[in-house]
């Protein structure tokens, strides 16, 4: 048997820098800084993660340096971490509201709220039997039982939905909503969006689309996949509905019609999170976190920082005046909360 020659052999940090300089024409302004960047963010994250944005014909664009990539990655990570943080809050809030309605209407025992008679058997290729099986597999002992479900299996005589759903995937939790019958679906929809002026069917449509958009972007971030160019192509928001639900100034018809933003992209994801948080304090906190990120770009006086801002907004297609939009809403909410 011959010796296997690996097509991705080990390369020292110094060798990685040499490849970047001589193969990819990346400008290395400081070798020590380059070593530090590669040690903290890795070659793959810095190069492969962003090469579709800055590489043409296997060469970096003129003006792109490792220092630029390092700053770009730090800004991107900060914005991603903010989106991820509030995505998780939305997921937990949604599961809590869903569990509340199921417990109220069907009971707190898993045998009752997982009874197939309480749901449509199928809807848009979603099968309740598959979701039921996924729920049962959490506590039946066929695999290690996670906490907090394990505690209830060992110490209590039933597993309430608000406990079981902590171990249920976001995807299956969303599918639960789609399989609810009209009364329960209406109750969950009103808890998520307590807007009496929005048609029930528009609410349901928005909830399904927005939860899936949040889930899709969250999964991209969780698995360190390409985030900044991603669009949720299988789920898109209805323009009239999101404009109705948002405070004035965050999204305009021009954004949608001319710039094609706000419906299934990063900005759409951020807006969905803001709507579904449905809590003035959380919304204010989220706006403040984003404003900090945007101010970091504006406060940078160096040429690389200015280039980072231009490139980041161009690639993500976030509105160039997003900081102004968010600051106006943030200040309005502070006055409302008397802070």
pLDDT tens profile 58-111:
888 888 888 888 888 888 989 999 999 999 999 999 999 999 999 999 999 999
Instruction: Give the lowest-confidence range in 34-38, 163-167, 302-306.
Output: 302-306
Burial of 142 (0-12, 13-18, 19+ CB in 10 A): exposed
E-strand ranges in 22-163 read 55-56, 59-60, 122-123, 126-127
Instruction: Give the lowest-confidence range in 113-127, 212-226, 322-336.
Output: 212-226
- pLDDT, tens only, 242-295: 999 999 999 999 999 988 899 999 999 999 999 999 899 999 999 999 999 888
Q: In whole angstroms, give the CA distance from residue 140 to residue 245.
A: 41
Q: State yes or no: pLDDT of 19 exceeds 90.
A: no
Burial of 164 (0-12, 13-18, 19+ CB in 10 A): buried
The reported pLDDT for the residue numbered 8 is 77
Mean pLDDT of the chain: 91
The reported pLDDT for the residue numbered 117 is 96
Reference 101, options 205, 204, 189; nearest CA is 189
Q: State yes or no: pLDDT of 223 exceeds 90.
A: no
The reported pLDDT for the residue numbered 299 is 66
3-state secondary structure of 233: coil
3-state secondary structure of 32: helix
Q: What are phi and psi of 27, to 5 degrees?
A: -75, 125
State percent of the chain over pLDDT 70. 96
Are residues 116 and 128 in contact, defined by beta-carbon separation less than 8 angstroms? yes
The reported pLDDT for the residue numbered 2 is 63
- pLDDT, tens only, 107-126: 999 999 999 999 999 988 89
3-state secondary structure of 71: helix
The reported pLDDT for the residue numbered 303 is 62
The reported pLDDT for the residue numbered 302 is 60
Confidence of residue 209 (pLDDT cuts 50, 70, 90): very high
Considering only residues 207 and 335, tell me which one the structure prediction assigns the higher pLDDT: 207
3-state secondary structure of 139: helix
What torsion do the CA atoms of 175, 179, 183, 184 make, to the nearest 10 degrees?
-40
Burial of 191 (0-12, 13-18, 19+ CB in 10 A): middle
Strand partners, 119: 180
Mean of pLDDT values over 217-244: 89
50 sits in the region (left: phi over 0; alpha: psi -120 to 50; else beta) called alpha
The reported pLDDT for the residue numbered 5 is 67
Instruction: Give the lowest-confidence range in 35-39, 63-67, 211-215, 299-303.
Output: 299-303
Are residues 49 and 226 in contact, defined by beta-carbon separation less than 8 angstroms? yes
Residue whose tokens read 């109750």: 187
3-state secondary structure of 60: strand
Confidence of residue 300 (pLDDT cuts 50, 70, 90): low
Mean of pLDDT values over 132-143: 95
């Amino acid at each position: 048997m011959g010796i296997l020659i690996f097509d991705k052999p080990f390369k020292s940090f110094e060798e990685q820098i040499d490849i970047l300089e001589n193969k990819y024409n990346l400008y290395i302004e400081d070798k020590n800084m380059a070593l530090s960047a590669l040690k903290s963010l890795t070659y793959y994250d810095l190069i492969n993660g962003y090469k579709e944005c800055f590489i043409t014909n296997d060469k970096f664009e003129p003006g792109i340096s490792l220092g630029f990539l390092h700053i770009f990655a730090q800004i991107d990570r900060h914005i991603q971490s903010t989106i991820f943080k509030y995505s998780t809050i939305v997921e937990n809030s949604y599961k809590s509201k869903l569990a509340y309605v199921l417990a109220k209407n069907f009971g707190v025992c898993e045998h009752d709220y997982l009874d197939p008679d309480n749901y449509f058997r199928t809807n848009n290729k979603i099968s309740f039997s598959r979701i039921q099986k996924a729920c049962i597999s959490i506590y039946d002992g066929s695999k290690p039982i996670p906490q907090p479900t394990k505690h209830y299996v060992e110490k209590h005589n039933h597993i309430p939905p608000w406990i079981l759903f902590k171990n249920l995937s976001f995807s299956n939790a969303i599918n639960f909503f789609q399989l609810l019958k009209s009364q329960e679906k209406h109750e969950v929809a009103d808890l998520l969006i307590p807007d009496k002026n929005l048609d029930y069917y528009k609410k349901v449509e928005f909830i399904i689309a927005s939860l899936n958009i949040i889930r899709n972007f969250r999964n991209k971030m969780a698995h360190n996949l390409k985030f900044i160019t991603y669009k949720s192509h299988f789920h898109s928001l209805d323009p009239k509905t999101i404009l109705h639900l948002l405070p004035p100034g965050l999204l305009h018809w021009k954004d949608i019609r001319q710039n094609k933003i706000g419906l299934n992209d990063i900005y759409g994801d951020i807006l969905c999170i803001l709507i579904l948080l449905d809590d003035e304090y959380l919304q204010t906190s989220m706006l403040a976190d984003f404003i900090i990120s945007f101010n970091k770009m504006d406060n940078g006086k160096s040429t690389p920082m200015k280039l980072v801002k231009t490139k980041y907004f161009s690639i993500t297609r976030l509105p160039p005046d997003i900081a102004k939009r968010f600051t106006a809403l943030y200040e309005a909410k502070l006055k409302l909360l008397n802070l």
